[in-house]
Amino acid sequence: MTHIHILGIGGTFMGGVAAIAKAAGYRVTGSDLNVYPPMSTQLQALGIELVQGYGAEQLELKPDMVVVGNALSRGSPVIEALLDSPLPYTSGPLWLAEQVLYKRHVLAVSGTHGKTTTTAMLTWILEHAGLEPGFLVGGVPSNFDCSARLGKPPFFVIEADEYDTAFFDKRAKFVHYRPRTAILNNLEYDHADIYPDLASIRRQFNQLLRTVPRAGRLIVNGADAQLQTTLSEGCWTPSESFSLSKADWTACIAKGSAASRFEVHFKGRSVAVVTWDLIGEHNVMNALAAIGAANHVGVDPERSARALSAFRGVKRRMEVRGVVQGVTVYDDFAHHPTAIETTLRGLRARVGSARIIAVVEPRSNTMKLGVHREELAPALAVADKTWFLNPKDLGWDFAAAVAPMGDRASLADTVDALVQGLVEEARPGDQILVMSNGGFGGLHDKLLGALRGC
């Protein structure tokens, strides 16, 4: 039995690779700095041996291949020992491509925003159609009990991330996947720790386009100017566009529905109606992309609409964590100003005039570098009040950036102080939307406990 050892196994992507490798018959071990539930329990349930930390001694396991996650860099003891050793090594995306994806029809979902939700939608549509696809999603789809599985040929759905591959391969992860069906959701500047400007990210998307065959299909956001520029720089594959209007795939949203009901049109003809629990125009856009991609592999739009009507979303995407004393607390992964704005607009459409209190943690590398500080305050215009965590090591003047918000903004230096401020301010009927791409120091549970008086 071939043995692979995965460095950085605790992340969603590398943990997904581990689960797929185990299902494919490999012996799998792995390590991470902090392997904790739910990923630790998921991996242990699969019989995967875990090592804490990145010490060089773990190479004494003598694996046949070391799979290196992009969280690892030069200077790490295990990396230096690996480079000194004769052991072969590869990246997670390349291992997946060479061992699994090369014999599948890959459906890849790319874009700055909406990748996880759209990937989950597309996977569920194929599952609902009885196709049992393999998949790797960068979150936990509520319609499944896992974020990754090997599935059955021919289809494999993957979240196609533009973040870099590994310390020895600075190309975007998605250039390895060789999709036959590719969704391009949107393109904005992000990952400032990796890319110096938007043009450098666009070049990576152009590299992705170079790998999609003529017999494939691109499903492209027709309202995104950066994607249109990307296509103009080189495209060899037939494409279909999606947008709320003036595209191949469009939607007519029912008035007063907060986008929970919409009619799908293809080239001007009504083809399906979706009624679901999700809200927001951004989710309608995600749905159009998923329906278009599924149509390319033979799932008709009406069947896709039935599947989406049973779609339960993704963990940490407008997920209700609890309702206490009439106060509803949501958890959302939004961390880019555009995502923050669209998430808030979706919530406003659902709750009407109810007071919305946004809570923001500037945790992403791009936010820590202050790249989007000018866009932050405008992105929160829909919220009645916003509380920010203001970490001491941020490196830029957070208070000055949100000063235009006046008394609609409050800052706290610690999570506990943030919880105290929220509890003092909250009243029945409030909608508290917590947004972070991390755990936020357990804020959700602390807040719910404090609201209960625990």
State pLDDT tens for residues 382-413: 899 998 888 777 767 777 878 888 888 888 88
Q: What is the pLDDT of residue 38?
A: 63
Mean pLDDT for the stretch of residues 437-444: 80
Tell me the pLDDT band of 421, cut-offs 50, 70 and 90. Answer: confident
Mean pLDDT for the stretch of residues 283-291: 96
CB 354 within 8 A of CB 431: yes
Q: What is the pLDDT of residue 325?
A: 85
Mean pLDDT taken over the chain: 90
Residues linked to residue 108 through DSSP beta bridges, in sequence order:
158, 182
CB 437 within 8 A of CB 368: no
Q: Rounded to an integer, what distance in angstroms lies between the CA atom of residue 25 and that of residue 379?
A: 47
Q: Which of 424, 423, 419, 422 is nearest to 440 (CA)?
A: 419
Helix (H) or strand (E) holding 15: helix 12-23
Mean pLDDT for the stretch of residues 317-327: 85
Residue 49: pLDDT above 70? yes
Residue ranges of domains in the chain, CATH in brackets: 3-89 (3.40.50.720), 100-309 (3.40.1190.10), 319-452 (3.90.190.20)
State what percent of residues in the chain have pLDDT above 90: 59
| Strand stretches in 161-246, DSSP E | 164-166, 169-172, 181-184, 217-221, 239-242
DSSP 427: -
State what percent of residues in the chain have pLDDT above 70: 96
Residue where the block lists tokens 């003092």 = 424
Residue 378: pLDDT above 90? no
Q: Which tens digit of pLDDT belongs to each residue from 205-220?
A: 999 999 999 999 999 9
Strands 105-110 and 181-184, by their bridges, are parallel
Q: Rounded to an integer, what distance in angstroms lies between the CA atom of residue 160 and that of residue 183?
A: 9
Mean pLDDT for the stretch of residues 424-449: 86
Residue 138: pLDDT above 90? no
Terminal CA-CA length for the chain: 51
Tell me the pLDDT band of 366, cut-offs 50, 70 and 90. Answer: low
Q: What is the pLDDT of residue 376?
A: 79
Q: Which tens digit of pLDDT belongs to each residue from 175-191?
A: 999 999 999 999 987 77
